[in-house]
Chains A and B, each alone.
Chain A
């Protein structure tokens, strides 16, 4: 069985490495600050006891007052998994550091999040729309998206 890391457990690892990190946890999820995403990601991948070498998915949820970006992680070595989340405030141009350098598999997923949810990823090598065409108005997965195209 894949062991799901509890947020508290994972937080202790991260606090040891980044003592000034602001962490929050609840059940099996852990929230980190958005500007710290990339370094925490690298730490999670390289720390020998964690070794989260596989990025399952990058997701984003629109909670109206903030966007939540989630990273589902798995370690093939230890067969455990974790969910790392971050909250991005602001609806105009929310942005999170890209983790493509750490997990290249995040490439299309981050583009998809940008395309449909409108959360930008700083440092992404090719951040442009993936499903919709360039010039599409708005980001359709946002809760306040209204279809502006007249048929």
Chain B
């Protein structure tokens, strides 16, 4: 007698320990195996793009902090680049260096969060997460010294940065750069060759390169699939063209590669930060701009950065008033999620969580 089995549909989220925010996945299972996935979002939709149309150009900056709240420095940077393109403003050199330095510190922090939560999703009870957060905490302390905030920094402004680094910032940064290799080394020692991490992540959630490109995947996920494409190299902004760094790539595009690429990028970011410290020129930190910005009517600009999650772009249109006419946000997290169904169907429930963790989404950015 054949046993009649039925697929089971489960709502993973919006309240679930490992959906990284209020993401809801309607998943159909055949036993443990996934046969269908449908991501449903909008639970954190705040209408940032609409809000931006009602605020002046500096006020919009605070909205960008709240997009990817794990990496607000790079959000600021993308927005400022777009506005500067719109206005045709040059940024002083010191400000550019400060921007690159803080952005790389932020990238380290964001990748550490991603790596920590990936291992949390693998079931490692908080230990790797705490190791990552211990490191990230020190970076956030530096941000606090710079601008008084840890998460929603609003440090960069159109035309430069908000303030120069205080006197005691530099020794603190040197101290961090001194202990960073050790902190990262401990984490690597704990995890990179752990047999369970290897069997759980290698060859799981494989994303072939052509699929990745077709689905507009960007950032570490794209690089893990094997394409050395990084906007910092391909289209250098600020002073990235003066920095020496490598682009780590993976060879299979599986979860382990995505995890490893992030860890390697943390090391590259450390290199960039130390170069910034060496080359940091004296000078002004901000171009003098009017209090209320009025870009020329009809101007439009697309400013993008290589954010920790991928390509973050701001498409701005001005109508000559003090508020943007249109502020479109190209958020890497949302677009990286497009490939989710391709990635997940056929794998098991446990793999789904890990794959989702390895894409590293942030719901603040997905829903905006």
* B300 partner residues in chain A, CB cutoff 8 A: 29
Q: Which residue of B lies closest to A55 (CB)?
A: B216
Flag if B335 contacts A140 (CB, 8 Å): no
A56 to B3 CA separation, bound complex (whole angstroms): 48
From A14-22, A33-41, A107-115, the one touching the partner chain is: A107-115
Flag if A70 contacts B41 (CB, 8 Å): no
Within A75-91, the residues touching B (CB, 8 Å) are 76, 79, 81, 83
Flag if A56 contacts B311 (CB, 8 Å): yes
Chain B 179-220, CB-CB to A under 8 Å as 1, else 0, gives: 000000000000000000000000000000000011111000
Give chain A nearest CB distance to B312 CB in angstroms. Answer: 10
* B367 partner residues in chain A, CB cutoff 8 A: 131
* B45 partner residues in chain A, CB cutoff 8 A: 131-132
Known: A54-B216, A61-B326. A1 touches B338 (CB 8 A): no
Q: Which of A57, A72, A105, A130 contacts B41 (CB 8 A)?
A: A130
B42 within 8 A of A: yes
Flag if A108 contacts B328 (CB, 8 Å): no
Chain A 24-57, CB-CB to B under 8 Å as 1, else 0, gives: 0000010000000000000000000000011111
B141 within 8 A of A: no
Q: Which of A2, A54, A83, A109 contacts B213 (CB 8 A)?
A: A54
* B42 partner residues in chain A, CB cutoff 8 A: 129-133
Within B116-174, the residues touching A (CB, 8 Å) are none
Q: Which of B49, B50, B330, B338 contacts A56 (CB 8 A)?
A: B330
Flag if A105 contacts B50 (CB, 8 Å): no
From B4-12, B57-65, B229-237, B277-285, the one touching the partner chain is: B229-237
Q: Which of A103, A108, A116 counts the most B-chain CB atoms under 10 A from its CB?
A: A108
Chain B 284-327, CB-CB to A under 8 Å as 1, else 0, gives: 00000000000000001010100000010101010000000110
* B317 partner residues in chain A, CB cutoff 8 A: 61
Flag if B50 contacts A141 (CB, 8 Å): yes
A104 within 8 A of B: yes
A2 to B313 CA separation, bound complex (whole angstroms): 15
Known: A62-B326, A83-B302, A105-B215. A140 touches B47 (CB 8 A): yes
Flag if A116 contacts B49 (CB, 8 Å): yes
A130 to B40 CA separation, bound complex (whole angstroms): 7
* A133 partner residues in chain B, CB cutoff 8 A: 42
Within B212-269, the residues touching A (CB, 8 Å) are 213-217, 227, 229, 234-236
Q: Which of A81, A109, A116 contacts B335 (CB 8 A)?
A: A109
B352 within 8 A of A: no
Flag if A59 contacts B216 (CB, 8 Å): no
Flag if B234 contacts A57 (CB, 8 Å): no
Flag if A2 contacts B311 (CB, 8 Å): no
B337 within 8 A of A: yes
Flag if B334 contacts A108 (CB, 8 Å): yes
* B214 partner residues in chain A, CB cutoff 8 A: 53, 103-105
Q: List 16 A-B contacts (CB under 8 A).
A: A53-B214, A56-B302, A57-B313, A59-B328, A62-B326, A72-B313, A76-B229, A79-B235, A104-B215, A105-B214, A105-B335, A108-B338, A116-B49, A131-B41, A131-B367, A131-B368
Q: Which residue of A lies closest to B241 (CB)?
A: A1
A33 to B50 CA separation, bound complex (whole angstroms): 27
Q: Which residue of B lies closest to A107 (CB)?
A: B338
Flag if B49 contacts A104 (CB, 8 Å): no
* A105 partner residues in chain B, CB cutoff 8 A: 214-217, 335, 338-339
Chain B 28-58, CB-CB to A under 8 Å as 1, else 0, gives: 0000000000000110010101100000000
Q: Which of B47, B236, B326 contacts A1 (CB 8 A)?
A: B236
* B227 partner residues in chain A, CB cutoff 8 A: 76
